[in-house]
A and B are shown apart, each in its own frame.
Chain A
């Protein structure tokens, strides 16, 4: 295909603003997928993605379209992950495109995450085509949202397309705008091969399959290829395009989007952002922008049934085949036995992984409270990374503890500024700046949308922050975050003793001035969450060996069925089985049975504080 008739684009949209429906309409309108063969949301193939209505893995599709000039065009849609945890992946998808459809819900307006992605796209020089979607909805205010887009991103009103992906209106105008406004790809086909990997997926027959945009040169034949960042070389099994399922081709040239089946057994060798080149006659430098996936959130994952540890290992290995951002290493806990310390891009990533482990591998899991990774400078001059509170060295050996910070953007109507400020400052956040996204004169009082920028310790936004933000703004606020380095903080470890025994998995690292209060709050929560046992169970919180709080779970007194009626033994047995099932879901620590929720009690600490403060 002549490069001049290729258009590479992606769709930037907030969750629920209609990205997947629009993608489906484009596939339909170009005849890529017949309407009858079309399952809803073709591009979101993972069951979990469909249930949650979000895209976890990016996907791609090539579409053939005849323009009004009677010429055939090739449109390559590169789908992008739709969540704040996956910003780096989004940036690589954007780097594979020349243009992007910016889809905004006509009744919602632009959200913080979308705006962050818009900035990413503008930075990379993408041509943006603004689409105000869902104009069919009764609460739609397309003109207001169009004015907001014009003001915030600088569009001319005439550029903005009004559409309803659900009803199919505006789809023709979008296709024409892609042809007319998105520049064709540049890139020298005679230059040494450089192809950008914007996603990689594991296939049991083809190994790691890299989703690529060929930037320069051409892929042809079975010549060995090399990944420039990881240094891994391989003979490609095949390459081709997504139509939308994989279809092998004889060549992929600069400007085109497709896949390379690498035959590699480990997707970690085939990382998003890496550059594919020829093993013989390679390019001199890789494409810019490559970054190692860096986990931000850490949690321990343990099988409730310790016999299933090998199954958990195997399940994690298999999940990580397809998820290079998931890292894990074996760890053992005095309380929980053998498990894994896992690192995730964010909380959603954690939730997805845990849910998939339970659902797809039938594992009963115990997850410890998620936390961040601390940098601990020791008196010895050494610096260690601590991603598990129980591993914090003794206070005497510590020179300084540094915690990760994040830069966050919140977009909310101006009437909620007060609540957002209060929430962020109660969590040690620092205000940076405020920016009106639309003039107050344009809208009803208090409705003007405002961007608030803060810095805040990462640990403070891990837990319930997003929910609290939503709650205190009646659901109107949206959030985006970026890592913002490490800073020293006055942090201490609070240990929890259950029945006199320190339970490592319940330890927390917290700010010194809050430690006593959080310790008290934690044992109170635990008292409510740990079921009564056959004996009194003392619960204590301690800082450096000093007990700061104590509660007791009183011994159980009564658990007996009143009668065994008319010889119905089966029914009685079912009740016992139900109780046995409940016990099995708990983790035995010493002689105390502790349910999963107890290990998450720390997550509720901050909630309580906000209602008090």
Chain B
């Protein structure tokens, strides 16, 4: 059996690293970009035996800011994937880009290389909020970038927006949403600002300069956004993602459905045949590792049954459609009721889960309490494993 495969390529470079960001992103390393692309190509070639014969259903460039890579470098990486495994005819090839550093010429070149989805880090349409987030672009730049993408023939355009910024009023959030809707993107990802430990933002919070938003107010913003987007014809298909019909991200769906994906590039994560992989994170260390070994693995983990079940449940429940309990049994050879009946019953009773059309899914209230369900399932599965 050879299930389709997704490929994730990490690009760890940014013109400037934002204060809230704790991803593997580095500024001031632009000189490494071409060598880096060569290394990713070499790494893909190294994976060839492992992925041979599997159709690649999607390629996603994340970062960092892949949109700031030389387009021919990204084209070379796409070429390396094609050379290693056949690309499905309808494959999704997406990149993330910063509206402030997007050019029409680059977009056209990327489309020629096969890119059909671009995701812009719009984040907000209020200049002050963008400044707070250390973003280098303006609200106008986002509108212009989206127009350039349309002109270049990008089939699907996403905007990332952030909410729950310190002091953000419901009106300010709705203004950003309205602005985004006027630009008519095909897809919207809404992310609550999270204060991640070790970031400059966390340091500001610690010093008392920034007061994080009240979680209940953030919940209000989430619910208000959901209503607005649905009224505008977007459908929530994942906890943080809305799309016009047919524009759901197929790549991200692979993560949520526990599918296989290859991760290449610095710090990238992969999941193949039940094993989880993690690459060396620092770009220079990554380059050295690939130069030396042709690969850059930092860690390989084969989760035990309880962990795998818990991961599966946590990921599947992020999809609004939920899952059919039979799919769990197919995958693990044990029924969901036998593996994790009690926490599911408890969450159903508490109004976090519901059954609809033979599927289990989060209720509307449950969407904001996904961790509560996932933690209970994890705890139960681990406890059960401990007894067995």
Contacts and interface: CB of A to CB of B under 8 A. Distances in A.
A395 interface: no
Contact of A576 (B222, B318, B375): B375
A562 interface: yes
Given A558-B215, A563-B240, A566-B23, 5 more contacts: A534-B350, A559-B370, A566-B263, A573-B314, A575-B371
Contacts of B314: 572-573, 576
Given A557-B368, A558-B368, A570-B276, A564 B318 contact: yes
B67 interface: no
B350 A573 contact: no
Most buried by B among A558, A561, A563, A568: A558
A565 B22 CA distance: 11
A569 interface: yes
Contacts of B8: 566-567
Given A557-B215, A557-B216, A576-B314, A569 B276 contact: yes
Interface in A557-594: 557-570, 572-573, 575-577, 579-580, 583-584
10 contacts: A560-B370, A562-B192, A562-B194, A565-B62, A567-B270, A568-B278, A575-B371, A579-B371, A579-B375, A580-B379
Nearest to B6: A567
B382 A580 contact: yes
A4 interface: no
B271 interface: yes
Interface in A205-238: none
A560 B371 contact: yes
Contact of A562 (B240, B278, B350): B240
B311 interface: yes
Nearest to B367: A560
Contacts of B90: none
B170 to A, nearest CB: 15
Interface string B36-76: 00000000000000000000000000100000000000000
B255 interface: yes
Interface of B: 8, 10, 23, 62, 189, 191-194, 215-216, 218-219, 222, 239-240, 255-256, 261, 263, 268-271, 276, 278, 301, 307, 310-311, 314-315, 318, 350-352, 367-372, 374-375, 378-379, 382
A566 to B, nearest CB: 5
Contacts of A583: 375, 379
B176 to A, nearest CB: 16
The 10 closest A-B pairs by CB, nearest first: A534-B350, A558-B219, A562-B191, A557-B219, A559-B371, A560-B370, A580-B379, A558-B368, A567-B269, A579-B375
Contacts of A569: 255, 269, 271, 276, 311, 315
A563 B278 CA distance: 18
A580 to B, nearest CB: 4
Contact of A566 (B62, B307, B375): B62
A339 to B, nearest CB: 21
B271 A573 contact: no
Interface residues of A, number: 26
A350 to B, nearest CB: 31
A558 B379 contact: no
B378 A576 contact: yes
B311 to A, nearest CB: 6
Contacts of B271: 567, 569
Interface in A521-566: 534-535, 556-566
B276 A558 contact: no
Contacts of B215: 557-558
B270 A559 contact: no
B355 to A, nearest CB: 18
B192 A576 contact: no
A559 B379 contact: no
A566 B262 CA distance: 11
B375 A560 contact: no
B240, B371, B382: most-surrounded residue (chain A CB, <10 A): B371
Nearest to A305: B383
Interface of A: 534-535, 556-570, 572-573, 575-577, 579-580, 583-584
A534 B314 CA distance: 18
Given A558-B219, A580-B382, A563 B369 contact: no
A584 B383 CA distance: 11
B369 A565 contact: no
Given A534-B350, A566-B263, A566-B269, A559 B310 contact: no
Contacts of A567: 8, 255, 261, 263, 268-271
Given A558-B369, A559-B368, A564-B255, A580 B352 contact: no
B276 A580 contact: no
B372 A559 contact: yes
A573 B311 contact: yes
Nearest to A584: B379
Contacts of A584: 379
A569 B351 CA distance: 26
A580 B378 contact: yes
Contacts of B375: 576, 579-580, 583
Nearest to B193: A562
A535 B350 contact: yes
Contacts of B310: 573, 576
A595 to B, nearest CB: 15
Contacts of B370: 559-561
A580 B307 CA distance: 13
B269 A561 contact: no
Contact of A570 (B10, B62, B301): B301
Nearest to B23: A565
B369 A534 contact: yes
Contact of B372 (A556, A564, A577): A556
Contacts of B276: 569-570
B168 to A, nearest CB: 15
A584 B378 CA distance: 12
Contacts of B192: 560, 562
A195 B155 CA distance: 96
B379 A564 contact: no
Contacts of B301: 570
B371 A576 contact: yes
A559 B378 contact: no
B308 to A, nearest CB: 10
B37 to A, nearest CB: 18
B352 A577 contact: no
B216 to A, nearest CB: 5
Contacts of A558: 215-216, 218-219, 222, 368-369
A579 B222 CA distance: 22
A570 B278 contact: yes
A145 to B, nearest CB: 44
A583 B315 CA distance: 21
Contacts of B193: 562
A584 B371 CA distance: 15
Contacts of A535: 350
Contact of B10 (A566, A573, A575): A566
Nearest to B218: A558
A580 B383 CA distance: 11
A559 B240 contact: no
B252 to A, nearest CB: 8
Contact of B352 (A534, A563, A572, A573): A534
Contacts of A568: 269, 278
A576 B371 CA distance: 7
A566 B24 CA distance: 11
Nearest to A564: B255
B107 to A, nearest CB: 22
Contacts of A562: 191-194, 240
Given A565-B23, A570-B269, A560 B369 contact: yes
A73 to B, nearest CB: 61
A7 B74 CA distance: 88
A559 B367 CA distance: 9
A561 B278 CA distance: 21
B368 A576 contact: no
Contacts of A570: 269, 276, 278, 301
